[in-house]
């Protein structure tokens, strides 16, 4: 890779992935040194509801954001649903995401598009002299299919195209996400597993970089007697370029109108957790999440806002057995 491309790539990817870098590589995926994976925006979670729950969401997702978290989750969508997220991220980075799902009897199809973008970046030569400005952005778009295999098992897959552009240079890749959900005999308890970003390396000129592959093992439990409707969730994330991370989250609906959420992230250098609220008005859901960084971080805080259209949400998910 040329010196110029390396310099531009590092400036852009450094902003996008500065807090996503860990310290070791598990043996479950293509090996990658910390920070050597490309398209770091794929690690950014989708949806303010998931963000507010500490991204403990692989076993929870039964909405259009399941195309990101666990494609098996869309198989339970009862009809047509839509989701949009605006993410005010670090260093003026913005991430926009749209998803839609059409549910049918026992199976569903979904689609998504996502765009990460920011303002102009400075271009400097090897001695640090400003030589101009450039723009960079990342894009993802794909299709998802989910199916209920039995009364207790759901499976799904997402296929997606990935595109990255930095100045005059661009790269394209293709990837697949796989997911499964299991409704255990214990009423309200769901187990789940996902494998995400299985795909071809991203190639800028002559140098390849692997995708941020990851495995998630998750569980979610919705109480029925104590604080009826309280949702507890946990995810164990095993990435190919950092340490194993943990996620814990909770959600409680009050009078089926307002949801209170909170979550924690474990073994992260900069992120600690999040809090948020959700409001239901008819078939519309508005969610907000405040995601702070640690006191020692200079990255600031992030805000996420989502709007969803989910007819029958309370009956199909919150009130479901």
C-alpha–C-alpha distance, residues 22 and 191, integer Å: 26
pLDDT in tens, 228-238: 779 999 999 99
Residue where the block lists tokens 């293509």: 30
- Asked whether residue 259 carries a pLDDT value surpassing 60, the answer given is yes
> φ, ψ for residue 310 (rounded to 5)?
-135, 85
C-alpha–C-alpha distance, residues 215 and 178, integer Å: 10
| b/e map 63-99, b = 16+ CB within 10 Å | bbbbbbbbbbbbbbbbeebebbbebebbeebebebeb
pTM of the model: 0.84
Residue 14, pLDDT score: 43
Residue where the block lists tokens 């390849």: 208
Residue in 219, 227, 226, 265 with CA at minimum distance from that of residue 243? 265
What DSSP character marks residue 29? S
HSE toward the beta carbon, residue 172, CA cutoff 13 A: 3
pLDDT in tens, 108-155: 999 999 999 877 766 777 777 677 666 788 999 999 999 999 999 999
Residue 318, pLDDT score: 56
- What is the share, in percent, of the chain residues with pLDDT greater than 90? 57
Residue where the block lists tokens 């495995």: 215
């Amino acid at each position: 890779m040329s010196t110029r491309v390396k310099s531009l790539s590092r400036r852009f990817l450094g902003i996008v992935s500065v807090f996503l870098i860990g310290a070791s590589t598990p043996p479950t995926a293509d090996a990658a040194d910390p920070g050597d994976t490309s398209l770091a925006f794929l690690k950014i979670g989708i949806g303010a509801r998931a963000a507010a729950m500490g991204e403990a969401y692989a076993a929870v997702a039964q909405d259009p954001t399941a195309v990101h978290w666990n494609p098996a989750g869309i198989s339970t969508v009862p009809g047509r649903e839509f989701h949009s997220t605006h993410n005010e991220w670090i260093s003026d980075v913005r991430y926009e995401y749209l998803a839609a799902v059409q549910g049918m009897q026992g199976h569903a199809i979904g689609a998504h598009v996502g765009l990460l973008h920011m303002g102009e970046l400075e271009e400097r030569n090897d001695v640090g002299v400003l030589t101009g400005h450039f723009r960079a952005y990342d894009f993802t778009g794909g299709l998802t299919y989910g199916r209920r295999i039995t009364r207790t098992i759901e499976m799904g897959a997402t296929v997606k195209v990935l595109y990255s552009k930095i100045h005059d240079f661009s790269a394209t890749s293709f990837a697949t996400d796989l997911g499964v959900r299991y409704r255990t005999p214990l009423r309200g308890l769901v187990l789940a597993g996902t494998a995400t970003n299985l795909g071809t390396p991203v190639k800028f000129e002559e140098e390849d970089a692997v995708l941020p592959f990851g495995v998630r093992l998750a569980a979610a439990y919705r109480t029925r007697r104590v604080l009826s409707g309280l949702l507890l969730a946990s995810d164990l994330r095993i990435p190919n370029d950092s340490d194993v991370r943990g996620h814990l989250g909770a959600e409680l609906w009050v009078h089926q109108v307002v949801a209170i959420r909170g979550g924690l992230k474990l073994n992260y250098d900069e992120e600690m957790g999040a809090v948020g609220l959700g409001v239901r008005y008819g078939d519309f859901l508005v969610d907000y999440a405040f995601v702070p960084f640690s006191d020692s971080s200079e990255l600031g805080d992030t805000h996420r806002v989502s709007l969803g259209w989910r007819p029958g949400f309370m009956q199909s998910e919150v009130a479901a057995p």
